[in-house]
Chain A
């Protein structure tokens, strides 16, 4: 049978000459010491371990020491990866390290006895493992072999890993020890000393001033910051400060709160320049109070609208997939992307992707968000996003709506503030959804990843509208599995506060001026990456607020005043003419009006008058997009794509060597960097008068302060894409995805009955 050999040549050129002896014996390992972070301790370790690199032959395998700490699985070696040309290094993790929080499943194997076991916490292992396979939450599959290692120590390390990746209590998550140690400032060990938010530009929305600023920025003059929940007096899941209509007094709020699930009062998210507001709300528990309370809330929101326009309610639970659906889709997708053997799954690849339903869900969220945009922008009506608990689906929808409507959130700082506001502060249960404690699989759901995927779809359609890159989104999602950031460790601000206080007290940590441990937010990127590496987050394409752009040969600045904001939002004029203005409100159902359909069956449409929302979308799509205005996603299924960088980055067979979109990105970066240098040189000409500056520094900014990762270089360098670029860049599949076949059986089948990897029907069953 013809086998597709093409992937072979891609790798061939990399292979070193065959000098490496397959049976090379482990060399004496000297000075292989774990690099430890403050608060990190070694639990167990084993020497003479082989890390598998290639799928079949052991030729490229590395020899070293495997260590389990309270933070990570660490593999230390003097060998270098033969196939590796580039790696994006984290300050917190070594080249081969896996944070324990990233471990999805630990599998031990004994080849000789033909045994294997999925290891859980506090379990026994009746055989000596010859191999350890670590399945990671970020889709990596890493294999270690113990052929030459001491059997007892190998077993101990495996058991330790299995045990330590399932902490019994949140305070056992490494971040607590790590952050706690930062308070012993003089220890001299502050390699990554926490800067307590000093230089951070991203608002965390944990103080009233930051909400005030957001109110001003969006012109929400009829809304106010309320502090009824100070000290979490009313609701355990709400932030201490949030925004409500001015017409609601604190007294009213206190009174209403009791009727909502977990006392979650409605939260203001955002104001449209036309005055309509985006609000999110939990369901009202007491059916007797429901109508009355609903009425009052709606009235208050209406009063805060300059045109007193009606409020539209959008029931997310009714229209969107629930968290179990999403988790199931994710598990199936993982199965297809990294577990199924590559060649065998080629033929049915497209239908397998479809049957995972992941893309369908991505589309559903984008679509629902676009429809919400229509109500805010086209109908100029305020919207309440309603969800049972208001802590899951509404995070995705409210963020997407704001991302589409407000260009501020498409800047790096804006985006981070959006996640902070709609996820962290709104009480998305990161601890449970990430399943950091691995206690309750039913609560696990990659909702945040789904959101990032939606963002990547928008980015793919409008690449110049975003200040940040696809790499940024991927790294952000990977950071969920580094358990030291306040962002992803807790279910809500209260839990954050309680645990950080308790831990500090129980350990007698000298907090100084702080009241509790202060975890760094993930937005403090210097925790993880050097300034140079952070440049990979910056998009060379971005047409930002202050950015310049050329139109018809004239340099134009995009800087704009706050006032002109509304007029730059697109789609407005046609509605101002009254063509589809206020009166269309009556022609639509008020409640649950989100039955609007984005894309009508045109054949049926011929006779029916065009629906205003359809018209809205059509009008918008018929004009070129204004990247600093409203952006709507193209929702035809042909335009939504699998997020390759995220899902396929570890798959060696899918790697395009020295190709992929990154090569164009590289080229763009060089140009953008050149422009940056020119700009700074021009500024100097303008700013300098010959006499005033004797000690004048020349125009080129220092490389590390330039925005682009790839820098314009000197003429001797050639500008062809560097060798190390690939479609996986800045990640590398080498050693990160070792699928294993046992006796010719695909591993997925061999493991049947085991936990999450197999809880789904196997692909084979689905496609029969």
Chain B
């Protein structure tokens, strides 16, 4: 059975060279003994199985399950079909059909993945042949539900670079010129006592005392007080973030909070207004009063409140579900655009981007802003990090982007553990939501609109998303910094940035051109937003996974180097043509002139 699906499946393959071939002697007799195994990875079970490929039909083969992945290889099909799914990617395993089901391949397993694909296997109906594999898969795909450890804690991988050193909060504050006359760094939350979902180090207005901060914390949901995320290097305007105020049904006031917000405003040379961006739709903000939350009312005299109309995690989850329906396994053909529209995915992306643009525009015009939603860890993280990406070219470098994720997402407690559900069997958990994916999509949209502005490429974004689920690295595990500390993630697991920074060149965008002071304003319009085919439709065998333009640029670069080398050789060999200086103003030799040419890489 010929199948064009191979390239797609082995393209799982953002897995990189650190994957070792464990062709150990002792394993020689085992089936698929040449399958890739990571250090610390162990085989648990193997089995004859039929893979029901949605594109080319039933494929006979063998499956191996390890404590990290599910690996399949076909036995008869030519060319060979293989694929490799980290168990962390699995959100749901179900039995399909019963012992008495009729029909070919009607008895087996149905696996739903978090990365926009499903897998279906058929087994022999005799002798409960799926029982053991189902149990093993279930245990190892959801280790936390079975008292097992996530693979990140079992991995023995070693990398040249230590990704945990990528982000040092103090260093990042210094890069931004902090502390300064108006802003100080406080260690008040060193032991996560002020707010257990915030980072240990916080930048706050110089004039606010630690006592003030404690008082404000009582009026902000989960103690997530307004703190600084970014400061404009010249204009001193800041982006601050927090959670909603605990206004409640009765419309409570809190003078401390009001005064504190005024301190934030004053810290920026006394601009007349502080703009508060509430990421939610107005109605949602009102509804939140019923549960004790709310928004800043009239009492905040020097503030203006703007709602950004971005919907909550549940809406985003449903939207992505609809999107999956129209792209997997088959791309909806008859009414593609209207189907895409009806998922509202791009519309949500647009609203997030449009919100971030408003934040960036305010700040670059010299006015300070405060961003919040309800808890300040989903939409708020999207808005602050995207606007920082627009404002500060440092975050558009490969290193800076890692810092941005560490700081605005991991540091400020985006609940990765709950949103992704690492190692947890409860696939229907209402806490799960693709907020981070949506953010990466927004970043991708920006890279499309500004192909030379980002140092990193699509591959980095894909790698981040793959390991968001894989549980191979400790980076995205748990809900906040304090939980990661408690679980000793930094010492017991490897950081994703170790993988990335040990192989930097694979993640570099060849078109990148440094422009340090430029603010990027993408066009947040349906005219330009596109579905990220390379991610959402990547499992379709008809899709090619390359960026031909990028590849061609690399080819040309290699060609240039080759020519330069040749020219140099010719020059050394002394056969230089005599240059008449009658026509050439510059007496420079060709090589000299050439090396002056300017195409920065």
Binding site for B on A (CB under 8 A): 2, 4-10, 342, 346-351, 353-355, 359, 462-464, 540-541, 543, 548-551, 553, 555, 599, 601-603, 605-606, 610, 615, 618-619, 621-622, 624, 634, 636-639, 641, 644, 648, 651, 653-661, 663-664, 666-668, 670-672, 674-675, 677-679, 681-682, 684-685, 688, 690, 693-700, 712-715, 717-721, 727
Contact = CB atoms under 8 A, between A and B. Distances in A.
Nearest to A686: B570
B309 A2 contact: yes
A656 B522 contact: yes
B580 A717 contact: no
Contacts, number: 273
Contacts of B450: 656, 658-659, 663
Contacts of A615: 2
Nearest to A622: B4
B530 to A, nearest CB: 7
B332 to A, nearest CB: 8
A637 B526 contact: no
27 contacts: A9-B360, A9-B364, A10-B523, A350-B526, A359-B337, A464-B549, A541-B548, A553-B558, A602-B329, A615-B2, A619-B4, A622-B6, A637-B337, A654-B523, A654-B527, A663-B451, A663-B452, A664-B511, A667-B452, A667-B511, A674-B560, A697-B580, A697-B584, A698-B579, A714-B596, A715-B597, A727-B449
A67 B495 CA distance: 69
A354 B576 contact: no
A569 B415 CA distance: 53
Sorted nearest first, the 10 A-B pairs with minimum C-beta distance are A637-B336, A622-B4, A349-B526, A354-B337, A6-B357, A664-B451, A678-B563, A351-B338, A350-B341, A606-B57
Interface stretch (B24-32, B425-433, B473-481, B536-544): B536-544
Nearest to B4: A622
B559 interface: yes
B102 interface: no
Contacts of A668: 511, 549, 552-553, 556
Contacts of B559: 548-550, 555, 675
B357 A5 contact: yes
B583 interface: yes
A696 B54 contact: no
A735 to B, nearest CB: 20
B186 to A, nearest CB: 33
B327 interface: yes
Given A606-B58, A674-B560, A677-B597, A622 B523 contact: no
A575 to B, nearest CB: 14
B340 to A, nearest CB: 6
A719 B6 CA distance: 41
Interface string B151-194: 00000000000000000000000000000000000000000000
A697 B583 contact: yes
A696 B552 contact: no
A638 B332 CA distance: 9
Given A2-B308, A656-B449, A667 B599 contact: yes
Contact of B533 (A638, A653, A694, A717): A638
Interface string B582-601: 01100000100110111110
B575 A690 contact: yes
A244 B264 CA distance: 83
Nearest to B590: A681
B337 A351 contact: yes
A678 B567 contact: yes
Interface of B: 2, 4, 6-7, 54-58, 306-309, 327, 329-333, 335-338, 340-341, 346-347, 350, 353-354, 357-358, 360-361, 364, 449-453, 511, 513-515, 518-528, 530-531, 533, 537, 540-544, 546, 548-549, 552-553, 555-560, 562-564, 566-567, 570, 575-580, 583-584, 590, 593-594, 596-600
Contacts of A350: 337-338, 340-341, 346, 526
B453 to A, nearest CB: 8
B144 to A, nearest CB: 36
A549 B554 CA distance: 10
B597 A463 contact: no
A57 to B, nearest CB: 20
Given A6-B358, A354-B336, A605-B57, A696 B511 contact: no
Given A350-B340, A637-B333, A663-B452, A715 B527 contact: no
A699 B548 contact: no
Contacts of A348: 341
Contacts of B56: 602
A693 B523 contact: no
B361 A8 contact: yes
A648 B527 CA distance: 8
Contact of A696 (B364, B558, B579): B579
B307 A2 contact: yes
B472 to A, nearest CB: 29
Contact of B526 (A346, A602, A693): A346
Which of A350, A462, A555, A651 has the most chain B CB within a 10 Å cutoff?
A: A350
B357 A9 contact: yes
A637 B331 contact: yes
Nearest to B558: A550
The winner among A634, A638, A700 for most chain B CB atoms within 10 A is: A638
A739 B361 CA distance: 26
Interface-central residue, A684, A694, A720, by most chain B CB under 10 Å? A720
Contacts of A2: 306-309
Given A654-B523, A685-B575, A719-B599, 18 more contacts: A2-B308, A4-B354, A5-B354, A6-B525, A349-B527, A351-B338, A550-B562, A621-B541, A653-B523, A654-B525, A656-B522, A667-B511, A671-B560, A672-B556, A678-B560, A681-B594, A700-B593, A721-B452
A667 B513 CA distance: 9
A401 B229 CA distance: 56
Nearest to A637: B336
B449 A659 contact: yes
Contacts of B556: 540, 550, 668, 671-672, 675
A5 B511 contact: no
Nearest to B519: A9
Contacts of B553: 667-668, 671
A678 B595 CA distance: 10
A541 B549 contact: yes
A351 B342 CA distance: 9
A223 B584 CA distance: 54
Contacts of A666: 452
Contacts of A462: 548
Given A9-B357, A636-B331, A675-B563, A712 B599 contact: yes
A197 B332 CA distance: 50
B579 A656 contact: no
Contacts of B570: 682, 685
A621 B4 contact: yes
A548 B559 CA distance: 8
B577 A696 contact: yes
B560 A675 contact: yes
Contacts of B557: 671
Given A348-B341, A549-B555, A638-B537, A618 B599 contact: no
Contacts of B564: 678
A5 B580 contact: no
A693 B576 CA distance: 12
A694 B577 CA distance: 10
Contact of B598 (A349, A661, A717): A717
Contacts of A641: 530
Contacts of A678: 560, 563-564, 567, 594
Contacts of B55: 602
A252 to B, nearest CB: 46
A328 B307 CA distance: 41
Contacts of B7: 622
Nearest to B594: A678
Contacts of A10: 521, 523
Nearest to B585: A698
